[in-house]
Structure 1
Amino acid sequence: MSLTKTETAVKAEGRRYRGVSNEVRTAERRMKLIEAGIKIFGSSGYHAATVKGLCQEAGLTERYFYESFPNAEALFTACYLHITDTLRGRLQQVLLGMGDEGLEEATTTGLTVFFTQFKEQPEAARILLVEVLTVNRHLEELSLRTLYSFVEMLEALAKPLIEQRAKGDPDVHLDSTLLASGLVGSVLYMAARWALEGCRQPVEHVVENAMLIFRGVGFSLVGGMPRG
């Protein structure tokens, strides 16, 4: 008795190769393409990349490229999201650990995580800070939405300080979103300049300079960033 098309598809979907399911192998190939994309897009640039070159870097045929992505833009988007999701996850871990350390220590740790990722993977810095703005309007909008998500994380830290200042001086009109946006923007521009110069300065030196900005805001709000 012959199998129906649906039955054949189900059987093929569940087929295993050397003990690994088809779904797992597909996910592994997709990850290889993302890793290749980060390397190519982050070194040669989005507009210089080709599907053929991306596949060669990943060690896969074009058939497997189109298995996961319809075009190079879709792969670039996946690379961008992989970078930002990884960074966001690491920063969230810092926030979760704030119970064991003060605000200044948590801020220093978060900045160290941020700059270290770019030091270890300069291609990621170029994708996040430069290339995403050169592809099209859709990617520009994605970049803005991502920026807002980081602003919200920082705003959660700044809001208690602003509320404390507002109680002591109601005539001062402070906006936690604007302040957080300014801090995130300053860090991004600092990172862009550092990355364009090849990340030559040690991470701790860059963090030290960034912390001057954060401490300045802290001192203006409550006379300093409390350590406990």
Structure 2
Amino acid sequence: MANETQTAATRWAGVPLAARRDERRARLVEAAFELFGTQGEAGVSVRAVCRACNLHARYFYESFSDTGELLGAVYDRVAAELSERLLAALEAAGDDLAERTRAGIRTVLDFSSADPRRGRVLFTEARANPVLAARRQATQTALMDEVLDQEARTRPAVDPRLARVGAAMFTGAMVELAQQWLAGSLGDDLDAVVDHATLLMAPHLP
């Protein structure tokens, strides 16, 4: 314990308190991401997370009340990364509906499978966990709102009800598509899956 205390004192010597807390929080989130992404929810405990990032348990409770709150932070980080990439891909695709649909599908599937830990956090693990379930529902709603905003910008004459129906179908289908892709049920040819999904989804979009 003395060595741990001494090492911590040396590590954070001269670092402002707020910066120390931010760094410790980031280390806890990264450790939880690794544990959850490789072992699932069962692998995430206060002891396991603190051991993985070499922090005392008191630092865990400095940032989080429990592991559920920590998992929420993990989900938020991964979802923010996906959102950033998705918006960039849609912007690069221009105003063509088919190209935007293709870009969105490819980005979600590629992001989720390029690092399997991301897909596990976003789509496939702990679907019964109330914190993650709420986060996933909020993310799906945000995605639907983004689709509606994008379509309002590129196709302002579309009937609002039709637009909402199309956006709801697209976002719901994307969640199921991602789960099937990550499970390996659709094979390993990303280009083929994106082509088929684009063909099937495009007619149902606004």
TM > 0.5 between the two?
yes
User: Match of 1:39?
Assistant: 34
TM-score (norm 1): 0.72
User: Match of 1:104?
Assistant: 98
Instruction: Report the Cα offset of residue 162 of structure 1.
Output: 8.0
1:205 aligns with 2:200: no
Contact 1:162–1:174 under 8 Å retained in 2: no
Contact 2:27–2:53 under 8 Å retained in 1: yes
User: Match of 1:146?
Assistant: 139
User: Match of 2:203?
Assistant: 216
User: Match of 1:128?
Assistant: 122
- The residue identity in structure 2 corresponding to 1:86 is E
Contact 1:151–1:181 under 8 Å retained in 2: yes
Residue-by-residue CA offset, 1:146-190 (whole Å, 9 max, x unaligned) = 2100011112234455835x5xxxxxx952122111111111111
Share of identical aligned residues, percent? 25
Q: Provide the alpha-carbon RMSD of the alignment.
A: 2.8
**1:157 is matched with which residue: 126, 150, 157?**
150
1:85 aligns with 2:80: yes
Contact 1:87–1:114 under 8 Å retained in 2: yes
Instruction: Report the Cα offset of residue 78 of structure 1.
Output: 0.4
- The residue identity in structure 2 corresponding to 1:131 is E
TM-score (norm 2): 0.79
Q: Give secondary structure in 1 for the equivalent of 2:65.
A: coil
Gaps in structure 2 of 5+ consecutive residues: 1-10
